[in-house]
Homo-oligomer: A and B are copies of this chain.
Amino acid sequence: MSKSSRGGALSPGRATIHDVARIAEVSTATVSRVMSGGKPVSAEVTDRVRAAAREVGYRPNPAAQTLLRGRSQTIGVVAPDLANPYFAEILKGVAAEAAEGGHHTLVAGSDEDPDREYRSAMELARWVDGLLLCAPRMSTPRLKEVAAASRSLVLINRILRHPSIGAVVVDYQEGIRLLCEHLASLGHQRIVYLEGPPNAWSDRQRQRGFRVAEALKQTVTPVPCGSAMRDGYSAVDEALTHQPTALIAFNDHVSLGVLTRLRELGIDVPGELSVAGIDDAPMSAHMDPGLTTFAVSTVELGRLAWQRFSSDPAAGATHLSGELVVRGSTGPAPRRRRSQASAAKR
């Protein structure tokens, strides 16, 4: 009692195991045993220790625990854009699962910069037990470097044949196929594809998916774009010069920008032009018209990514498939192509 007041409960977060040991009049080893539980300690001592711990607000120093155990109970997540709903949802899912499993989540955004992405990944690798790279844009050799520096590495939407790299990927090739078939059934022959970021593996998967177009007698013209709303907005004008009857964007986010620009131009969707996205972002169902898209469960993506850390061996890829969601933004191809004039002017 008199002793305890000497302990100094001024900064509760800063009490160490020694403080507790001193107050409870036991060794630090015993305190440790009580705190971790499941160790043989007498009831009486347990109570004394618990009381002392509560008194000074003792909480074990995680750095010390990490140093000793060699594991930080922390995972790292790196994504090109933390504000992009797609990655934000994955992060939310992974962080929730990780917390469930007693792990913390460290994040870093790369702003689509492969170099920054690499540096962030290497930096986080020092800390974490497992590293999750979302749609990494860095080169393959660098990715292998990261793998070597990481205790455990999992990729989302990128595949790399490597013994210690795991992956969870969405089957975007199938997504494009479904979208093309859907458009074909509506009579669309001229499609423009708004491309994603240059180094995105998942963009290449989409491009591959377009190989079905030939069989469907469709022409697909790729137009450089990006992954953000404003990219879609800006790419519309060039897309229109190819006089498509339908337009598929890299993702729903981009489609949003597209719809806005088309509205400005007074082009009716889907009357004059059909528009489709990919991913089924939360707001896609709320657009007017609703956006036809290839729906992917980000929740599931996050869950699967976490599983790679906790259960599965690292190597190999888990494939996740999505489904076609038809809403109002796609409709029958117009009988007559819009006039050159209406397409080009502004």
**Which residues of A are at the interface with B, using a C-beta cutoff of 8 A?**
11-13, 57, 59-64, 66-67, 72, 74, 81-83, 85, 88-89, 91-92, 95-96, 99, 104-109, 111, 120, 122-127, 148-151, 229, 256-257, 259-260, 263, 282-283, 285-288
Contacts and interface: CB of A to CB of B under 8 A. Distances in A.
B127 A104 contact: yes
Contacts of A88: 82-83, 85, 88
A95 B82 contact: yes
A106 B109 contact: no
Nearest to A298: B83
B85 A85 contact: yes
Contacts of A150: 13
Given A85-B88, A148-B13, A256-B283, A105 B108 contact: yes
Given A13-B125, A257-B286, A288-B288, 9 more contacts: A59-B122, A62-B127, A82-B95, A83-B89, A85-B88, A92-B109, A96-B109, A104-B106, A229-B283
A107 B109 CA distance: 13
A153 to B, nearest CB: 11
Contacts of A286: 229, 256-257, 259-260
B91 A107 contact: yes
Contacts of A283: 229, 256, 283
Contacts of A85: 83, 85, 88
Contacts of A109: 92, 95-96
A81 B93 CA distance: 11
A123 to B, nearest CB: 7
A233 B260 CA distance: 22
A57 B91 contact: no
22 contacts: A12-B149, A57-B148, A57-B149, A59-B126, A59-B149, A61-B67, A63-B67, A63-B72, A82-B91, A82-B92, A82-B95, A83-B88, A83-B92, A91-B107, A92-B109, A96-B109, A99-B108, A104-B127, A105-B107, A106-B107, A260-B285, A283-B283
A62 B12 CA distance: 24
A151 B85 CA distance: 32
A180 B113 CA distance: 43
A306 to B, nearest CB: 14
Nearest to A10: B148
B126 A111 contact: no
The 10 closest A-B pairs by CB, nearest first: A63-B66, A88-B88, A82-B92, A63-B67, A13-B149, A83-B92, A260-B286, A83-B89, A256-B286, A63-B63
